[in-house]
Amino acid sequence: MIERPAGAPDDVIVAEGRGSDVVCFPRPDQYVDLVRAWREDGFEVCVDLCAVDYLEHAGRWLPEGVKPTRFEVVVNLLSMSRRQRVRVRVQAGDEAPEVASLFSLYPGTEAMEREAFDLLGVVFTGHPDLTRILMPEDWEGHPLRKDYSVGRVPVQFKEAPGPR
């Protein structure tokens, strides 16, 4: 089991994940401080950062003391020297999800945070260029949100008979 790093907030909820991974559940105000503590403790790589919309799974399992919100940001950190991983899951909010950017700690999160913003609408405060990365600038909405209207675009294939 990985011990909590020095400098981490004392009241961050820690649970054991699958295998020997550790999963931390900081409040949004603890998020950057916790990730900084892991970085200083030898977790040199942020492997992944993504957002999740739990609109249809509000009753998902979370440890006691964690108040679920619709949106969650999930960060996977890796210590190559220790061969260990840590997952950080922060509740980002409901209608206007927002957490602090990790860009100052892990510059490689720049594109990952932009993707989470573009597709799910999570705002990363302090991000140097929080603009769309996959969708056109004039696109309305965030297409990976569970309540986003799918819509319909008619497709006409070559040499196919026209509408009847």
Pairing of strands 71-79, 45-53: antiparallel
Share of the chain above pLDDT 90, in %: 75
Q: How many distinct structural domains can be found in the chain?
A: 1
Tell me the pLDDT tens digit for each residue of 16-73.
877 767 999 999 999 999 999 999 999 999 999 999 999 999 889 999 999 999 999 9
Domain span at residue 70?
A: 1-164
| CATH code where residue 69 lies | 3.30.460.80
Mean pLDDT along residues 10-18: 85
Among 15-24, 59-68, 121-130, 137-146, the range scoring the smallest mean pLDDT is 15-24
The band of 107, judged by pLDDT with boundaries at 50, 70 and 90, is very high
**What is the spatial distance between Cα 1 and Cα 21, in angstroms, rounded to a whole number?**
8
Contact 37, 30 (CB under 8 A): no
Strand ranges (E), 17-159: 22-25, 45-53, 71-79, 84-93, 98-100, 123-125
Q: Which residues contact 13 (CB under 8 A, 6 or more apart)?
A: 24, 25, 26, 63, 64, 65, 66
- Note the pLDDT of residue 157: 73
The rounded mean pLDDT for the chain is 91
The band of 15, judged by pLDDT with boundaries at 50, 70 and 90, is confident
- Note the pLDDT of residue 2: 65
